[in-house]
Structure 1
Amino acid sequence: MAAAAGSASAGTIPVQQLRAGDHAFAGYGDDEAGRDVVAAYAWAGLANHEKVMVFAAPQLTEGEVWRRLDAPGPLLGAARDRGQLVVSSMRALIHPARGFTPRRQWQRIEEETDRALAEGYRGLRTYIDMHWVGDLDADIAVMMYRESHAEHLFTDRPYTEICAYDSRCFSPDVLAAMHRAHPCRLLPHLGALHTEHAANVVRLVGEADIATREQFTAAVREGLARSAEARRLTVDLSRVSFLSAACSVDLLRLATSAAHDLIEVRCRSAVARILRRADADHIPNLLISEVSP
């Protein structure tokens, strides 16, 4: 049996960095939001030779779901024809059971994971739109129990899951509880940048490009200001999926002008290469620490 590699992701991450063993929360607030997230998620699974199952909102027709996945392209069409990409529903998954129970859903997901492996895929990833709760007239408390007690589906298993919640259909209390119940939370769309500040640390998640450049530089400036007394700052870019040349130059300029004794940049190898091409190694108070995916 294949196993999930490494430990599961935690905290806020971009959809591009999901991996086997991850159980992620995604939120959206209108009918168009999140389309790029599910499409990117499906494409990544196909590229990684995983089986992908999309359990879309029940009110969508199958044709509408395929259009949201950019299905007219020949690659997705081929994946559909060979059974690597499947559009289904929660009702179909738990059949012949008429009502939802966590045990039945867990059983079926485990069966589908094993089936994917038997078919020669590296694992299974699912996208589950939580509109199924209303469609099956399921009890909210039972659904919440399922979400917060599903660790066995992911531990040492090649299974990845996104649970997508429409904020118009669930109460703020339920959304907050489900946000906490999932080990990782996704950025709402591709191209977004999320910022977190802690003691002498600024953490950035997502894409730092022309659209988010101002937000990126403002976050680094704030991190430098907050850590001025300590004269040490960690800029955590390990969850940055894209760093533009302009943003890298901005970061190095800010580091050069800072009075800090040490500015450590934690990042993946692709981001490290961009920074080094911008002469990061020639800044005395800057240290690049590469981290594994």
Structure 2
Amino acid sequence: MALLDRLELGDHICWTVDDDDTRQDEIAGILHDGLLSRHKVVYSGDDPAPVLSRLERRGVAIRAALRSGQLTAATPESSYLAGGSFDADGTLAHWQVEKARCRAEGYLGLRVVGDMNWALRQVPGADRLEWYEQRCNTVFADGYVMGVCAYDRRVFDPVHLRRLALAHPGAAGPLLPFDPETSLRIRRTDQPYGLWLSGEADMSNRHALRAMIEEVFVTRDGEPIVTLDVTALRFADTAAARVLLNAAATLGPLHVVGCTPVLVRLLLFLGAEEIPGLVVTSGY
């Protein structure tokens, strides 16, 4: 079963795994597709050798790819944990710099896959991983980077893993292929300034949605209004609707355009008309 073959640049997913063979094969597939698509590909894991071996079996000239810089395979100690701790803010800044470098080098995209077992080590800063996963969504919103965070459910506490999953717009699991129709896709827009949403926004991804809306307000640089285009949003539950309403009430003027009649009714029921600066527009 192909679990991750519908991923696109801009996606950031929590992938729960429980089988090493499947994990290594799927990761090799993501990296291989990226190499063929002229993307830069980055893999971080405790032991990159098995993944590289599977890439080689797919016909990739590993040494040449590593030497050219199109492929990077590193351990957490040389990536997330460089310096002996997890610096969440520094890592976010690193990905922004890496994006700019990839563009300058002519790559058409950047794919990042991380095995996240390092987070179970008692390293300084690991307690900020949930915050990092939420804020990391800003790295993906321009549609240039794809991120897959692989969490082994055999070793992560279920409650902890659930909180980490909530920080991602999308998810996949051992018997659950990634489905863009039921996941949330978030992209930045310039005209009008704001965000474009597609798929489904609900309790499972509300933290990712909130982080992105907060970020787009923080970085609006004089833009008077933030617009959320929800024309492609198939479904939004009460939790997602409350994220929108809270943003309008606390962050500034917000226009939500392209709403289905159901979403319009939900927002109005929850008090949209009482929030100054909030405009809700039907798209149907």
Q: TM-score, normalised by structure 2?
A: 0.56
Aligned residue number for residue 24 of structure 1 = 13
Q: Is residue 171 from structure 1 mapped to residue 138 from structure 2 by the alignment?
A: no
Cα distance in 2, alignment partners of residues 71 and 93 from structure 1? 23
Identity among equivalent positions (%) equals 27
CA RMSD of aligned residues (A): 3.0
**Among residues 167, 183, 197, which one is paired with 1:181 in the alignment?**
167
**Among residues 85, 92, 97, which one is paired with 1:99 in the alignment?**
85
Cα distance in 2, alignment partners of residues 53 and 148 from structure 1? 20
Query: Is the CA contact (8 Å cut-off) linking 2:85 and 2:125 kept in structure 1?
Result: no
Deviations 1:66-96 (A, max 9, x none): 12x3324543424334221110133212575
The offset of 1:30, in angstroms, is 3.3
Query: Is the CA contact (8 Å cut-off) linking 1:33 and 1:189 kept in structure 2?
Result: no
**Among residues 58, 78, 85, which one is paired with 2:71 in the alignment?**
85
Cα distance in 2, alignment partners of residues 51 and 142 from structure 1? 27
Between 167-176 and 81-90, the greater mean CA deviation after superposition = 81-90
Query: Is the CA contact (8 Å cut-off) linking 1:100 and 1:138 kept in structure 2?
Result: yes
The offset of 1:14, in angstroms, is 4.2
Matches within 5 A, 1:1-293: 14-56=3-45, 58=46, 60=47, 62-67=48-53, 69-77=54-62, 78-93=64-79, 97-135=83-121, 137-188=123-174
The offset of 1:97, in angstroms, is 3.1
Structure showing greater radius of gyration is 1
Counterpart residue type for residue 41 of structure 1: I
Q: TM-score, normalised by structure 1?
A: 0.54
SS in 1 for 2:30: helix
Cα distance in 1, alignment partners of residues 130 and 37 from structure 2? 30
Deviations 1:218-258 (A, max 9, x none): xxxxxxxxxxxxxxxxxxxxxxxxxxxxxxxxxxxxxxxxx
Seen in structure 2, the aligned counterparts of structure 1 residues 33 and 96 have a Cα distance that, compared at 3 Å, is closer
Deviations 1:252-276 (A, max 9, x none): xxxxxxxxxxxxxxxxxxxxxxxxx
Cα distance in 2, alignment partners of residues 129 and 108 from structure 1? 18
Seen in structure 2, the aligned counterparts of structure 1 residues 130 and 74 have a Cα distance that, compared at 3 Å, is same
Cα distance in 1, alignment partners of residues 155 and 81 from structure 2? 24
Higher relative contact order (CA 8 A, sep 6+): 1
Seen in structure 2, the aligned counterparts of structure 1 residues 35 and 136 have a Cα distance that, compared at 3 Å, is same
SS in 2 for 1:17: coil
Q: Which runs of 5+ in 1 are unaligned?
A: 1-12, 198-293
Q: Which runs of 5+ in 2 are unaligned?
A: 183-284
